[in-house]
Amino acid sequence: MRNKDLSIIIVDDLQFSRIVVKTALKKAGYDGVRLADSATQALGMLQEQPADVVLADWMMPEMDGLELTDRIRQRDEEVGTYTAIILFTANEGIDLLVEAFEHGVDDYLRKPPNPHELAARVNAAARIAVMQNDLLETSRQMEDTIRHLEEVAMIDPITGAGNMRFLKSQLKSYLLEASSRNGGVCLAVLEIDQLKQVREQHGLDIANEVLIGMQRRLRRSIRPTDDIAKLDGNLFAILMRFTDANSYKPSAIERIRDGINQRPFKTSDGDVSVSASIGVTYYRGDEELISAKETISRAMNKLDEAIDMGQDNIAY
């Protein structure tokens, strides 16, 4: 970072001291210098525009340099930035300097400062600030990437619906909620009966178009608060939660089946008709709490029963 790109705040209750330091920095090529006559004013300046380096007198009325350092470090933590801090001091004691470093001060200078030493210390402090802020920005980018990957890892890439990981996460949350509030959770797992034949006759792309159409049709057939997940192969799951355990009605699943059978699916290779077998399990919050894994297992067992009954059937 070039000197003229640095943002510096000089904090001193003595105007003469502020001017001396600013003049020395100006001669060293530092143009972005702001002056504050108190720690309070400096904090206001930081609120308006962050600074790379703050140069502050240790001894100031109302709020001294250590208190200002504490406030700046608190602000840095809140907004995710780093500000390098140099204190001017006339103190000679080692214990006092150790205390300053423990408060988070990066460096110190004896008063009055030597102009060449001042410029060198500011340059070194600026490098620390730039490095720390680069690390913080890299960390933020990594966190954003991780969040994005977690989101992607819970979405089926073909249909855009949730996947098995999404289903398990939602189901676990809904079961706990139902158990604590005497609600209910319905899990329906459906299998597209003819998808294998569609894949064999029309190819994978057309089969995927049917899957996408199925996801859209299911979404129109359920409530906005219900969840859809695309599982392996030709399986979908529909997850419904109810605030009252008695609110669930099997007719809700029948409406979903009727919606699937409403008309053929339009594809690039013409209309394709399919049906679905559906297995349903319902958990009442007044029952003993069961796991998401057990709930899915029960729904899959019911799906097997529906398939044994023939195409386009529902097993509760």
All structural domains of the chain:
3-147 (3.40.50.2300), 164-315 (3.30.70.270)
How far, in Å, CA of 265 to CA of 286, rounded? 41
Looking at the predicted structure, is the pLDDT value of residue 310 above 70? Answer: yes
Query: What pLDDT, in 10s, does the model give residues 164-221?
Result: 999 999 999 999 999 999 999 999 999 999 999 999 999 999 999 999 999 999 998 8
How far, in Å, CA of 26 to CA of 30, rounded? 5
User: Are the C-beta atoms of residues 53 and 126 closer than 8 Å to each other?
Assistant: yes
Report the pLDDT value the prediction gives residue 137, as an integer from 0 to 100.
87
Mean pLDDT across 107-134: 89
Mean pLDDT across 267-290: 94
Looking at the predicted structure, is the pLDDT value of residue 148 above 80? Answer: no
Report the pLDDT value the prediction gives residue 113, as an integer from 0 to 100.
87
How far, in Å, CA of 193 to CA of 160, rounded? 21
Report the pLDDT value the prediction gives residue 215, as an integer from 0 to 100.
93
Report the pLDDT value the prediction gives residue 135, as an integer from 0 to 100.
86
How far, in Å, CA of 284 to CA of 245, rounded? 5
Q: List the 314-315 sheet strands across, edge first.
A: 227-230, 235-242, 184-192, 276-284, 314-315
Looking at the predicted structure, is the pLDDT value of residue 130 above 80? Answer: yes
Instruction: With H, G, I as helix, E, B as strand and everything else as coil, classify residue 237.
Output: strand
The amino acid that residue 256 corresponds to is I
194 closest CA partner among 183, 210, 209, 212? 210
How far, in Å, CA of 258 to CA of 269, rounded? 24
Report the pLDDT value the prediction gives residue 96, as an integer from 0 to 100.
78
CB atoms within 10 A of CB 301: 13
Number of H helices, E strands in the chain: 10, 12
Looking at the predicted structure, is the pLDDT value of residue 144 above 80? Answer: no
CB atoms within 10 A of CB 264: 13
Mean pLDDT across 213-237: 92
Looking at the predicted structure, is the pLDDT value of residue 3 above 80? Answer: no
Report the pLDDT value the prediction gives residue 260, as an integer from 0 to 100.
87
> What band does 151 get if pLDDT is binned at 50, 70 and 90?
low
More confident site: 118 or 5: 118
Share of the chain above pLDDT 70, in %: 96
Mean pLDDT across 248-257: 91
DSSP letter, residue 277: E
